[in-house]
């Protein structure tokens, strides 16, 4: 099957990789980052490596399923948007049947991995499924659909933290809140490149909802992220490595918000800022890992 050719001449295996967005790893990594934040902070050091492996593979399987479900919902919308019109389901390079099979396989893999976790973490995985499945429909009925996506992102924190500690605590919720605000911020930036198409089609996005106040809104989201991460560092008594990473992340976020004030900012700049947040996430992860160590 993987050697079968599509009408475009592209092997179907490569087309499925594009469907899963594995050709664009930034989106997969940025979902994985909050889950890794949680598992390392909850362990106050180094968590069991098998658990880290389950978290990594689980986030990959979940994000893969989410991408396919999103494309199934939006195949008639994506074809009208410049950034997404060449996605396999939108361009009809792959059939709906293939998309459904790929989504089921990805969700099955995620479910099998979830069985490794304790009951609380498992049921949090179950609770995340409706949010993941119905998130793509939010843009049709909810003015800030990026908030729904951010809440879906936050489940990674709850699942990973409880997988280590068997419970949720104040630090968990501080990290959850920081994750939701961070995701709302960077996804609003990402949505900026689709504003004209979204307005023409008639779907919602936070970039349209906040309008001229997008730089202010994103600044508030990132400021809230910094405050909650700072509160987390204080509660957990993290060492200076964490604070150094948080300071560097804050400087980059300030620079990004300043860039957003330019009304002539070219569309590729929004995608670049999104990718920068991947590296910010890994910078904070390094700070958390080292910051949780006791010297």
The pLDDT of residue 81 is 85
98: Cα within 13 Å, side-chain hemisphere: 17
The pLDDT of residue 47 is 93
The pLDDT of residue 3 is 37
Phi, psi dihedral angles at 229 (to 5 degrees): -65, -35
Nearest to 146 by CA among 217, 62, 239: 217
Task: Quote the CA–CA distance of 187 and 192 in Å, as a whole number.
Answer: 9
Q: What is the CATH number of the domain that holds 191?
A: 1.10.357.140
The pLDDT of residue 97 is 92
The pLDDT of residue 287 is 96
Cβ neighbourhood burial of 121 (10 Å; 0-12, 13-18, 19+): buried
Given a contact cutoff of 8 angstroms between Cβ atoms, the answer to whether 61 and 106 are in contact is yes
- Please report whether residue 2 resides in a domain: no
- Please report whether residue 6 resides in a domain: no
The pLDDT of residue 228 is 98
Q: What separation in angstroms does the CA of 281 have from each of 43, 193, 217, 249, 289? A: 18, 22, 20, 8, 12
175: Cα within 13 Å, side-chain hemisphere: 30
Question: pLDDT tens track of the chain, all 295 residues?
Answer: 333 344 456 788 888 888 888 888 888 898 899 999 999 999 998 899 999 999 999 999 999 999 999 999 888 888 888 888 888 988 888 889 999 999 999 999 999 999 999 999 999 999 999 998 888 888 889 999 999 999 998 999 999 999 999 999 999 999 999 999 999 999 999 999 888 888 999 889 999 999 999 999 999 999 999 999 999 999 999 999 999 999 999 999 999 999 999 888 888 899 999 999 999 999 999 999 998 877 6
Given a contact cutoff of 8 angstroms between Cβ atoms, the answer to whether 92 and 71 are in contact is no
- Please report whether residue 61 resides in a domain: yes
Taking the CA atoms of the chain, what radius of gyration do you get in angstroms? 19
The pLDDT of residue 295 is 60
- Please report whether residue 5 resides in a domain: no
The count of domains in the chain is 1
pTM: 0.93
Query: HEC profile for the chain?
Result: CCCCECCCCCEHHHHHHHHCCCCCHHHHHHHHHHHHHHHHHHHCCCCCHHHHHHHHHHHHHHHHHHHHHHHHHHHHHHCCCCCCCCCCCCCCCCCHHHHHHHHHHHHHHHHHHHCCCCHHHHHHHHHHHHHHHHHHHHHHHCCCHHHHHHHHHHHHHHHHHHHHHCCCCHHHHHHHHHHHHHHHHHHHHHHHHHHHHHHHHCCCCHHHHHHHHHHHHHHHHHHHHHHHHHHHHHHHCCCHHHHHHHHHHHHHHHHHHHHHCCCCCCHHHHHHHHHHHHHHHHHHHHHHHHHCCCC
- Parent domain of 199: 12-291
């Amino acid at each position: 099957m993987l050697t079968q050719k599509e009408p475009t001449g592209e092997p179907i295996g490569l087309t499925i990789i594009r469907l899963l967005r594995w050709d664009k790893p930034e989106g997969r990594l940025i979902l994985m980052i909050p889950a890794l934040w949680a598992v390392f902070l909850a362990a106050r050091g180094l968590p069991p490596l098998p658990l880290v492996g389950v978290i990594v593979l689980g986030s990959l399987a979940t994000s893969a399923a989410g991408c396919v479900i999103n494309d199934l919902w939006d195949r008639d919308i994506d074809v009208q948007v410049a950034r997404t019109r060449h996605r396999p389901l939108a361009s009809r390079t792959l059939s709906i049947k293939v998309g459904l099979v790929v989504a089921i396989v990805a969700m099955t893999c995620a479910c099998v991995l979830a069985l490794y976790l304790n009951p609380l973490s498992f049921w949090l995985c179950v609770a995340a499924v409706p949010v993941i499945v119905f998130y793509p429909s939010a843009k049709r009925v909810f003015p800030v659909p990026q908030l729904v996506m951010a809440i879906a992102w936050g489940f990674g924190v709850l699942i990973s933290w409880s997988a280590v500690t068997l419970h949720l605590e104040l630090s968990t919720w501080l990290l959850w809140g920081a994750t939701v605000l961070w995701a709302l911020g960077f996804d609003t930036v990402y949505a900026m490149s689709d504003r004209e198409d979204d307005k023409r089609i008639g779907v919602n996005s936070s970039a349209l909802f906040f309008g001229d106040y997008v730089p202010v809104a994103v600044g508030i989201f990132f400021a809230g992220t910094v405050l909650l991460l700072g509160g987390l560092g204080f509660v957990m008594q993290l060492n200076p490595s964490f604070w150094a990473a948080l300071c560097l992340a804050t400087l980059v976020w300030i620079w990004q918000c300043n860039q957003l004030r330019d009304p002539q900012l070219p569309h590729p700049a929004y995608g670049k800022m999104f990718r920068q947040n991947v590296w910010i996430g890994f910078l904070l992860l390094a700070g958390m890992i080292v910051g949780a160590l006791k010297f």
